[in-house]
Amino acid sequence: MVVRRRKKSRKLRGNRSHGYGRIGQHRKSGSRGGFGAAGMHKHKWSWVVKYAPNYFGKRGFTRAPQIVLGIKEINVGVLDEAAEKLVKEGLAKIENEYITINVLDLGFNKVTGRGKVTKKLKVITKLITESARRKIESVGGIVEIVKK
């Protein structure tokens, strides 16, 4: 038997429905039951149950941004390296033998313990890690915690 090959031309000239059945079957959104999410609570409910069971309803809540404390941290080593530069720029002061750095004024609220401390620092902060406190105090520095 002869193998059936496709016709040279498959353009359905003047065929009205072009192989999509009765007139109007391949038009707009009527064939889909509406645009997008239309009918999710109505005629598409069985689809929702199977494929999107969490589509409807509320779950949980978002905490108010003023309650959530966004932690911005800076390393002790960075503070130590930048101490003199901060004094020149007026962001830190020299009091007695200490370089006083208010971390909150720099836009940070936590001091972490990475890096070396060589200068006597007085660090004012909200939060500090134990290792950072140890490094500052081992050189003779002071840590002041502010409750705001």
Domains of the chain in start order, with CATH, are 8-52 (4.10.990), 73-145 (3.100.10.10)
pLDDT score of 148: 66
Average pLDDT, rounded, for the chain: 90
Using CA atoms, how far apart are residues 101 and 120, in angstroms rounded to an integer?
11
Using CA atoms, how far apart are residues 48 and 22, in angstroms rounded to an integer?
29
pLDDT digits (tens, 9 = 90+) for 71-97: 999 999 999 999 999 999 999 999 889
Q: Is the dihedral of CA 6, 7, 11, 12 positive or negative?
A: negative
Structure tokens at 103: 């971390």
The reported pTM is 0.55
Residue 19, helix vs strand vs coil: coil
